Every structure is written in structure tokens, then in C-alpha cells.
Amino acid sequence: MGFCPMVFALGRCKLNYGHTGIIGAMKTPSKGKKVNKAWLHDHINDPYVKLAHREGYRARAAYKLKEIDETFGLIKPGHLVVDLGCTPGAWSQYARRRMSPQGAAVGDLNGTIIGLDLLPMEPIEGVTFIQGDFREAEVLSQLELALAGRQADIVVSDMAPNLSGIASADAARIEYLIELAIEFAQNHMKPHGTLVAKVFHGGSYNDVVQRFKAAFELVKPFKPKASRDRSSETFMVGIGLKLPGGKG
């Protein structure tokens, strides 16, 4: 599956079609109650769900970023972290603790976190939140306003579009969000910064890898243990921006 030329020719624009509902559960359950029951059973028995509950994280997703961070040594006190697709807030919570003097969930924060999502988010102390569609130009402007001329050290994106079930359209949507995240990193991240973005195996995976390789010095796909085996998600870690006009 290649890029959807029309989507990319449009660039970032004012979109009217937007998303079509709650995004997050990527796969449309096909067997109704049976699937829901199985999902519920897995969820209740999931060690990461239990751990998240014990440690006060809003979602088990926190452990995906934790493992990525521990593997690549990304988030450090003093950093500016941009969290794209941040709701309900587990990644921002994790980043916040990483940049707190004692790993605290509240109180002093040595660093900056700016989160953005289509959906509302319960406030997290010290985290700036912008509600809006990352694909829209005016939402990007709000994010730029919050950056106030500063460059991010780390950009993380757990954004996932609503799937239609039409493979080519879904692949193009996934790829488009990733493309925008890469573009954002190129414009608003420090040269030695890192972009972590959720990607999916399937239709557009190879194109996404190529996009990352064109933009970053080092590209590492990574599947954290907390990412369920049955999920086709994986995370692309792009370290160090390639200079414009440089090789590659």
C-alpha cells in the first residue's frame, strides 16, 4: 500500500470529515458478545491493568511508554515532552513522574509536558492540555502557541484513527497521522530529539518505516511487552533528525 497522494497533496488543512467516534479500540469486534466477553476476561486478568490500578495510572498504556523509555533512555528531568493523542493521560502521567524530583505524581515538576487529544482529558497537575484534532491547522497553531518558540526534546504519539474496515482507507489514515507527527517533529523538535509513534503492521507499515528512515538518523521498531500479542501495533522510535538536504 502506497501513500494516498490526495491526502498528502492536501497537507495539513481544515478538515471537516474528522473522526467518526471514540477512537482507541482499533479493531471492530466481529463476533459481538463472545469477543467482548473474551476481551473482558483478558482485561480483568491482565497484569498491566492490575499494576496500573495499583500505581495510579489511568491506563495500562503507561507501561508501554515506560518500557520504551527504559530501553532507549529517552525522558529526562528538564525535558519538554509533547504527547500526541494523550487521553486518558497515562503517558503524560508517566512522563510527569519521570521528570518529578521523587517520581511523584503531584508537586514539583522539572520539565514541561504538552498533551493533545481529540477527546477531553481529566487534568494532570503541571500538564498543559489542548483538545482538538491534530490534523487541523488551528489545532497545530494552538500547540505552537503552547510551545512558545521552544523545541521539544521528545515527541510521543499514541494516536490511532478510527478504523473503517476498508484496508486501503485505514492504512492511509494511519499513515497520514504518522506523517503529520514526523512533520511536527521536524519542525518543532531538537535535532537530537526522539519521536516515538504508534504504527501498525499491515498495509502501510513499510511506507511508514521508509518515512521514518528518511527523517531520522536511527530508526528502531519496538514492541513493548505491555503491547498485547494479538494487537498489530508496534512503536517506531526515530532518534536524531536528519538534516534537510543531508544524505538519505
Ligand X SMILES: C[S@@+](CC[C@H](N)C(=O)[O-])C[C@H]1O[C@@H](n2cnc3c(N)ncnc32)[C@H](O)[C@@H]1O
Q: Which residues bind ligand X (CB under 6 A)?
A: 19, 23-24, 58-59, 61-62, 85-91, 116-119, 133-135, 158-161, 177
C-alpha cell at 33: 458478545
Q: Among 111, 71, 117, which Cα is nearest to 90's?
A: 117
Smallest gap from residue 1 Cβ to ligand X (A) = 19
C-alpha span between 63 and 84 (Å, rounded): 17
Name the catalytic one among 198, 220, 223, 242: 198
Smallest gap from residue 98 Cβ to ligand X (A) = 14
Cα 168 versus chain centre, distance: 21
C-alpha span between 145 and 141 (Å, rounded): 6
Cβ(172)–Cβ(135) below 8 Å:
no
Strand partners, 197: 157, 236
Q: Is 198 a catalytic residue?
A: yes
C-alpha span between 139 and 155 (Å, rounded): 16
Cβ(188)–Cβ(60) below 8 Å:
no
Nearer to ligand X, 90 or 215 (CB): 90
- Position 174: which residue type? I
Residue nearest to ligand X (CB): 85
How many helices (H) does the chain have, and how many strands (E)? Answer: 8, 7
Nearer to ligand X, 24 or 240 (CB): 24
Place of cell 492536501: 10
C-alpha span between 95 and 69 (Å, rounded): 9
Tell me the catalytic residues.
198
